[in-house]
Amino acid sequence: MLDPVVITRAMRTLTIPLKGIYFDQIAAGIKPEEFRLVTPFWRRRLVGQDYDLIELTRGYPKRGDTSRRLVLPWKGYRIITICHPHFGPDHVEVFAIDVARPAPAEMKIGDWIEYDLVTPRRHTRARLIANQDDLVTAGSLLADPTSGWRAATRDWGQAA
């Protein structure tokens, strides 16, 4: 069984509400990037900003509804030109935000997994994968999108 280690740290999170179809594609691992038009609004939110996490929501869920939230490590963005039906028939410049889900197979003994507790204050709970049994348990938690667990966004061993 994994032993929890609770550590509090202010984590910068970019929250993006999505249409259901795009949320479901990202949750299933089909859609590795989320596109946002290059506008002054998105430039302020992305350019020069440093986030720890990205929280994707299916619409605007209630505070405790974890089934409609995906919290992933922030892996940045790139600016590309695409033609997509959502943006009309013309080519447009977009921020392609990396939302690829980490594969559980990438986990190994010595890695950490984590999830956020949001009440009464935001805390992050982290667990060390210390042995093969922990690795199996972590794989199950990461494979279940409703569990809220994700691959750690930093080395928790340094903070303990």
pLDDT tens digits, residue range 49-79? Answer: 989 889 999 999 998 888 898 888 888 999 9
DSSP 3: P
Is it the case that residue 81 has pLDDT exceeding 80?
A: yes
Burial 21-52 (b: 16+ CB within 10 A, else e): ebbebbbeeebebbbbebeeeeeeebeeeebe
Rounded mean pLDDT of 90-105?
83
Please report which confidence band the pLDDT of residue 12 belongs to, taking 50, 70 and 90 as the band edges: confident
Is it the case that residue 86 has pLDDT exceeding 70?
A: yes
Q: Which of 17-21, 76-80, 117-121 has the lowest mean pLDDT?
A: 117-121
**Higher pLDDT among residues 71 and 1, named by residue:** 71
Is it the case that residue 118 has pLDDT exceeding 70?
A: no
Distance CA 103, CA 93 (A): 29
Please state, rounded to an integer, the average pLDDT across all residues of the chain.
81
